[in-house]
Structure 1
Amino acid sequence: MTRLLLAPLLVALSTAALAQEAPNPLAPSPTWDALAPDILKGAVPVPAGEALALQAPTRAEDAATVPIHLVQPESAPWVQDLTLVIDENPSPVAAEITFGESMMPLDFELRVRINQYSDVRAIARTETGEALMAGAFVKASGGCSAPASSSDALAGMGEMRLREFGLAEDGRREAQVMIRHPQFSGLQRDQVTQLWIPAHFIDRLEVRQGDEMLFTMTGGISISENPVFRFRYTDNGAPGFQVRAVDTEGNVFEQTLPKTPPA
């Protein structure tokens, strides 16, 4: 009998502990209160609910490459613009992304750096002008100052690759675009000289299929080294993706990545 009484109590205590361990990213915080006026510019976002989910690991395996997955159900409104914010990063706005209609409903993943335990939030503007907010709390630290994964991080800079995953369960195609770039944050040291490495990252990216825009991104230091973007899209029959990236040193990288023809 005692065991039967203790079981629900233990469940309740565990649930309470988990709630304390995983803060609600949509709740007010001193950091967000300070950031919000500049980021929202007068918009008043509402919790996205089922219209948009931001999925992220509760505890990141690698703070320098944390996967952020943005997902919508089939009936969700078209997200035209989205701002990705990592509250506690030195530069909180990780990316501003515009999505074409062929990307709807959104199923989009990218990798970011997280410098310390932080709320990560997506502020989305839909085709109706409504502002939505989704978020997650991620335990990670040191991502923005983590050294490059290779001793020659500049080797092959600008090279691009396409990986295709065929048809997703919703009938759309799924692809992954990979770009080789060190994405220096300005917070890393050269492992030999111990001098600071100047910031050097892709700040503008465009991905199209034929003449149709799939997405554009204005990025900052929070986008991970060798950026990877995985997404679902409605195929318009174009033979490939046109990818154009511009970095903060003025380098322009352009490449056409041929698609595999549909079976």
Structure 2
Amino acid sequence: MTPIPSRFRGFQKSVSGLVAVLALGLLAAPALAQEAPGQGEDEEEVWSFLRKELFQDRTITEGESVVDLTAPYRAQDPAMVPLSIQEKLPADSDRRIEKMWLIIDENPSPMTAKLHFESPRARANLSTRVRVATYSNVRVIAETADGELFMDKEFVKATGGCSAPVPGDLKEAKRHMGQMRMRIRERSEGWQAPWTLQVQIRHPNITGLQKDPITHLRPQPHYVRKVRVSYGGETMLWAETTFGLSENPSIRFDLVPGGPGDLRIVAEDTENNRFHKTLALQ
């Protein structure tokens, strides 16, 4: 059995429960609410544990042959670290990426997002911003339609991203919670080539690790946990997300529209609030 790192030892009696929580990306229990887990441990110990629990004994090919991750070596703002993921498979290839995991090893909730690409028209080219708690490897693992796994990783130097206070007035942020901004970042000349689209969801994405400067109390975690993208009534992609995404989570993605239609985004948070917005592409 894979050794359980010290940061997870409180769950030794219920490893199966931990696996289920990890799979859903909801690892935010108080026992893990520490800002710099894994400090002093072998860097690969946590990943070894996560790899075993999430992927068992499946082979993971490392390198940039299928997926390429770009991240800053030293983050300017640990609460808003930009990441870019590019699918390296040719657009006309029979192979395509169907699933993708975004993992930040040393975050309190390592599983930051799991994405499902339901349609061949949704390309696995993404950009987003994440929180990084402490110096950590950031990984993207992609699964192709034939069941093979591929990984790329970058080491990011950052500290305090998960405990950084939400900027501005939290009450005001909650008042505007769920408002969305959708736009076309890059529009191809035809309908059969990828368009780059972006959605931003106003949400404080509270980690539960921030401390109120007056009461010194920590709020309950409250963050966007699901995002679904559909076009013309067909699901293109959907994501299971955690507070590892930054405040006001933003996702930029590529989509081949195939023709005029309505782009619809539906999001849900951990308090079962649902938000939606539609953008007509024409």
Query: What is the TM-score normalised by the length of structure 2?
Result: 0.78
Q: Does 1:101 align with 2:120?
A: yes
1:114 to 125, 132, 152: 132
Other-structure match for 1:253: 275
Give the AA of the match of 1:233: L
Provide structure 1 residue ranges, at least 5 long, that are not aligned to the other structure. Answer: 1-26
Whole-Å separation in 1 of the counterparts to 2:67 and 2:174? 36
Q: Give the CA RMSD over aligned residues.
A: 2.0
Cα separation, partners in 2 of 1:248 and 1:49, compared to 1, 3 Å: same
Other-structure match for 2:212: 190
Q: How many residues align?
A: 233
1:31 to 46, 50, 54: 46
Whole-Å separation in 2 of the counterparts to 1:191 and 1:213? 42
Asked if the contact 1:161/1:257 (under 8 Å) is kept, the reply is no
Give the AA of the match of 1:36: R
Other-structure match for 2:223: 201
Q: Does 1:143 align with 2:164?
A: no
User: Comparing 240-249 with 28-37, which one deviates more in the overlay?
Assistant: 28-37
- The structure 1 segments of at least 4 consecutive aligned residues displaced by more than 3 Å after TM superposition are 168-171
2:185 to 162, 165, 168: 165
Give the AA of the match of 1:101: P
Other-structure match for 2:75: 60
Q: Which has the larger radius of gyration?
A: 1
Following TM superposition, by how much is the alpha carbon of 1:31 offset from its aligned partner in structure 2, in angstroms?
A: 2.0
Following TM superposition, by how much is the alpha carbon of 1:58 offset from its aligned partner in structure 2, in angstroms?
A: 0.8
Asked if the contact 1:209/1:236 (under 8 Å) is kept, the reply is no
Other-structure match for 1:4: none
Provide structure 2 residue ranges, at least 5 long, that are not aligned to the other structure. Answer: 1-41
Query: What is the TM-score normalised by the length of structure 1?
Result: 0.83
SS of alignment partner, residue 39 of structure 1 = helix
Whole-Å separation in 1 of the counterparts to 2:88 and 2:150? 14
Q: Does 1:214 align with 2:229?
A: no
Whole-Å separation in 2 of the counterparts to 1:224 and 1:230? 14
Give the AA of the match of 1:103: A
SS of alignment partner, residue 203 of structure 1 = strand
**For each residue in 1:107-145, what CA deviation from the matched residue of structure 2 results, as whole angstroms up to 9, or x when unmatched?**
211111000010011111101111111111111111001
User: Comparing 68-77 with 53-62, which one deviates more in the overlay?
Assistant: 68-77
**For each residue in 1:20-41, what CA deviation from the matched residue of structure 2 results, as whole angstroms up to 9, or x when unmatched?**
xxxxxxx981221222211213
